[in-house]
Copies of this chain bind each other. A is one copy, B any other.
């Protein structure tokens, strides 16, 4: 599909500088722009590329001041970054607009199915499952018995949803992610017997979960991801954990059983949190850190394994890097002290 600069400016509430008739059919980075593509400039580090880009159209901030002539058509908007994100989304919506129930899918007769859903080949919907309107179930997805999937939610190819799981509206779950597997509970003192896991997982609206994550069902009750939670790839959430609204987990995060995490937290990659803790709202945890105690004060930054205050950690770590010189100083002090001691005698 081809769009003119005029059409795009209309969509984005932007104003045009240059040839309004030029058309584009794809998106590009400003430094890799080719004729027929549209790009954007937001990060000042890339300003240099504006003056030489081959992109036919570039979206820029309304406040941006040109310091040289440009050959490309400009569309000025309040925030070039947001406008471009909006464009990406529209592009994606066209691409991801799958519809229809494949004859090669399997949907239990007792399942309740909403309007306009997509159910791809070799996907499976179990007994008494409830699928909302506009839900997209890609090929090879599994939805267990009694599971509930809210309106407009997308489950990419191969997602596995165990029975009794409840997922809200407008969620996106990427391939390979498993929701509702058994929590890890055994009784080593009692012949390693398994503790049956009969709770479920509840995921509220607007949650996105990356690829190959594993979120365990509760032993009793629910493992809960609150509204707006965002997970990167390969994250493990144990039984009975609760993650607060709009909390972000970068890749390879691990949370052990029954921990409750507050709202608006930001956890970098490979963070681990042990079980039965409370983590305050707005907590930030740096990459590879391990949390071994509850965090009660909001908005703190933690680092290290076990983690403590990040500023203090960084200071201690500088000293750690210089430990060899500290040891040499202590060696020298002891030597001097011995000499003084000798003099004293």
Contacts and interface: CB of A to CB of B under 8 A. Distances in A.
B251 A238 contact: yes
Contact of A187 (B85, B190, B228): B85
A265 B138 CA distance: 36
Given A124-B140, A316-B320, A176 B212 contact: yes
Contact of A321 (B182, B228, B269, B308): B308
A333 interface: yes
B174 A182 contact: yes
Nearest to A333: B333
Contacts of A221: 28-29, 32
Interface stretch (A4-12, A13-21, A152-160): A152-160
Q: What 10 pairs between A and B have smallest CB-CB spacing?
A: A88-B196, A211-B214, A319-B323, A214-B233, A142-B157, A160-B175, A178-B211, A181-B211, A236-B251, A184-B232
30 contacts: A27-B198, A82-B190, A85-B195, A88-B219, A91-B196, A92-B198, A104-B106, A106-B139, A122-B122, A124-B139, A156-B162, A157-B160, A157-B162, A158-B178, A174-B178, A181-B233, A182-B210, A184-B230, A184-B232, A192-B206, A194-B208, A232-B236, A254-B270, A269-B274, A315-B324, A319-B323, A329-B334, A333-B337, A336-B337, A340-B340
